[in-house]
Amino acid sequence: MGDVTFKKVMIATDGSVCSRMAANNAIKLARLSGGTVYAVYVVSTDYFSSMAVDFDWERMCEALKKEGKKAVNYVKRAGEMEGVKVETVLLKGHPADELIRHAEKEAMDIVVMGSLGKTGLDRILLGSVAENTVRHSKVPVMVVKEKCRS
């Protein structure tokens, strides 16, 4: 087996403490291979299905986009400090589906993500987004399972 290189490293981020730790690992991987990190945040439409019909979707969407920009820009700054190029990507939809679709479409070498997301519900197991991504992705997924308490 030849050397494994990670030229295209995708980090799935939601701005949580855990995803920031995962981002540091993604940056290290990319630095070792001279690769690029793709910081991806998905504006989740999962919330919308549980909201009232008259809920202000647009305002919610804008708030999530703002949070997403903050999350990917954190990764960009962390990458710059390590001399690693970081591309930022904002997607919209069901997080696991969008992460898998993007990773496969863009031929990523690996997807890196934290084991716990921002919502308390995700803390029950591995985190539904991480679990679904691991189960269904054709691209290898590295789940960073550190002591991520936010």
Q: Whole-prediction pTM value?
A: 0.87
> Is residue 82 a part of any domain in this protein?
yes
Where would I find the H helices in the chain?
Answer: 17-33, 46-49, 57-81, 95-105, 128-136
Count of domains for the chain? 1
Q: What is the pLDDT of residues 4-51, one digit of tens each?
A: 789 999 999 998 888 899 999 999 999 999 999 999 999 988 766 666
> Is residue 149 a part of any domain in this protein?
no
Would the pLDDT of 1 be above 60? no
Residues 6+ apart with CB under 8 A from 150: 16, 17, 18, 116, 118
Q: 59: which 2 tokens?
A: 């305002």
Q: 38: which 2 tokens?
A: 């793709």
124 bridge partner residues: none
- Tell me the CATH number at 26: 3.40.50.620
> Is residue 88 a part of any domain in this protein?
yes
How far is Cα 99 from Cα 94, in angstroms, rounded to an integer?
9
Would the pLDDT of 100 be above 60? yes
> Is residue 132 a part of any domain in this protein?
yes
Would the pLDDT of 53 be above 90? no
> Is residue 104 a part of any domain in this protein?
yes
**Which residues form the domain of 122?**
8-144
